[in-house]
Amino acid sequence: MFLSTLAKTAQGTENIWELSLNVLITGIVVVFAVLLLLILLIKLYSTIVYKAQNRAPKAPKGGNDGNVAQAAVIQNNGAMAVAQPQGLTDELVAVITAAAVACMGNSNIRVTGIRKRTTRSEWSDAALRENVQPFRMGDWK
């Protein structure tokens, strides 16, 4: 409604410079207004989703598909507790954190989760190794 009124105003204008300024001002104002509105909406729903998802921390299900290992850092009255599943030692967490700090050059980071990237079984891994072995760069030298 707002834009169509502006459009009619602009198209009815005989002075081309008036039309140009209409387009300039309308364009900049509308683009910023729409994108600012999107910022507000994204912040709003992100907050709602974050709160909804963190209201009641779910207990890890028994299966957890065997491939995902998580070390969740939970803040509780200022004290930090680290829940570690099998195979993820304190030393491993420390090494991964140190690597992340070194890579990013920023010591003010916190590792909240560690996830294994592969979803392949050992058999798939073996098959993949078998297939890509002839193409290793080292073999070409």
Partner 1 sequence: MSILQGFLDSIVYLFNTSGLATLTWQNYVMVGVACVLLFLAIKKQYEPLLLLPIAFGMLIVNLFPGIMGAPSTEMIPLTEYLASHPDVTEATIGYPITTLEGIQYVNYPHNGGLFYYLYQGVKLGIYPPLIFLGIGAMTDFGPLISNPKSFILGAAAQVGIFITFIGAIGLNALFPGMFTPEQAGAIGIIGGADGPTAIYVATKLAPELLGPIAVAAYSYMALVPIIQPPIMKALTTKKERSVVMEVTRPVSKLEKILFPIIVTIVIALILPDAAPLVGMLMLGNLFKESGVVDRIFKTAQNELMNIVTIFLGVTVGATATGQNFLKPQTLGIIALGLLAFCMGTACGVLFGKIMYVVTGGKVNPLIGSAGVSAVPMAARVANKVGQQENPANFLLMHAMGPNVAGVIGSAVAAGVLLSILG
Choices 4-12, 56-64, 79-87, 120-128 (CB under 8 A): range interacting with partner 1? 4-12
Give the C-alpha separation, 21 to 122, whole Å.
66
Q: Of 12, 14, 17, 107, which lies in the binding site for partner 1, with binding defined by CB under 8 A?
A: 17
Nearest to 114 by CA among 124, 103, 128, 99: 99
CA dihedral sign of residues 100, 102, 104, 109: positive
Amino acid at 105: G
Which CB, 117 or 136, lies closer to partner 1? 117
Do residues 134 and 89 lie in contact, with contact meaning Cβ atoms separated by under 8 Å?
no
End-to-end CA distance of the chain: 68
Query: Is the CB of 53 or the CB of 89 nearer to partner 1?
Result: 53
Quick check: 28 binds partner 1 (CB under 8 A)?
Answer: yes
Q: Which of 106, 107, 119, 133 binds partner 1 (CB under 8 A)?
A: 106
Among 14, 35, 135, 138, interactor with partner 1 by CB under 8 A: 35
- Residue 73 touches partner 1, criterion: CB under 8 A: no
Query: What's the token pair of residue 133?
Result: 């072995």
8 A C-beta contact, residue 21 and residue 10: no
Shorter beta-carbon distance to partner 1: residue 49 or 95: 49
Q: Which residues of this protein are in contact with partner 1, per CB under 8 A?
A: 3-4, 6-7, 10-11, 16-17, 19-24, 26-28, 30-32, 34-39, 41-43, 45-46, 49-50, 53, 104-106, 108-109, 112-113
